Amino acid sequence: MRLFAAALVLSLTAASAGDFSPATSPARMDVNHAIAARVAPGLYTMQERAEALQRYLHLAFLPTLGQPITLTPAAPAVPGLAELDFHSANVNTGNLYITWMRAGGEAAILSLDPKPGSLDNGNMTIAIRARASQRYDFDCRALPSPKPLSYSVYPGNVSGTVQIGQDGHFLIAVDKVATDRTVTLFINQITPPFTRSSWFFYGCDISPF
């Protein structure tokens, strides 16, 4: 027992006082307070999701959506089937430390453009194993965004922009592929040169239709 205590004390006092400490850094505290102040967008029902897709694609009829795959920062992967990937992001997956945080977690994605043409923008990708001849509706939730998001779909390098709605949802439709294969959706915030801002991501429900 004494040995244990001695080893622990030794290891716990080894660092110098000036070391970087993420837990107590002002930036981390700011992040925590900001998380507490945000209200995550609610989930759509299947009916609401179908209606949103109908509006988005200007369809004459309500599309029939299949069973969705749900990905969130707390449950970001379905093995062999789908995953969320984040780049230059701060990701809080749960609600232990910030006890009032919503279920599902939150990813804060920093959009930073220190100089035009640089590659430092935070972004995220969603990869799915797409079935041949199947279209997919990505119903995603995020805050805030006065600025639009840009997206690209690979393979195909199909690109566009999308605005997060008042209810915190944005939709992207991915067209069918010829054979079963991995399809990757790349999303980032459009940031003017020399500016920085963050956007906050809560999850996607991905439905075949």
Concatenated DSSP letters of the chain: -HHHHHHHHHHHT-S-TT---TTT-HHHHHHHHHHHH--PPPPPPHHHHHHHHHHHHT-SS-----PPEEE-SSS-EETTTEEEEEEEEEEE-SSSSSTTSPTT-EEEEEEE-SSTT-----EEEEEEEEPBT--EEEEEEEE--SSPEEEEEETTTEEEEE---TTSEEEEEE--BSSSEEEEEEEEE---TT-EEEEEEEEEEEEE-
Among residues 133, 159, 167, 180, which is the contact residue for another protein, using CB under 8 A?
159
- Is 30 one of the binding residues for another protein (CB under 8 A)? no
Q: Judged by CB under 8 A, does residue 139 bind another protein?
A: no
Q: Is 46 in the site for another protein (CB under 8 A)?
A: no
Q: Which of 70, 85, 131, 197 binds another protein (CB under 8 A)?
A: 85
What binding mask, one character per residue, do residues 112-131 give for another protein by CB under 8 A, x or -?
-x--xxxx-x-x-x-xxx--
Considering only residues 52-81, where is the footprint of another protein by CB under 8 A?
Answer: 56-60, 63, 73-81
Asked if 39 is part of the footprint of another protein (rule: CB under 8 A), the reply reads no
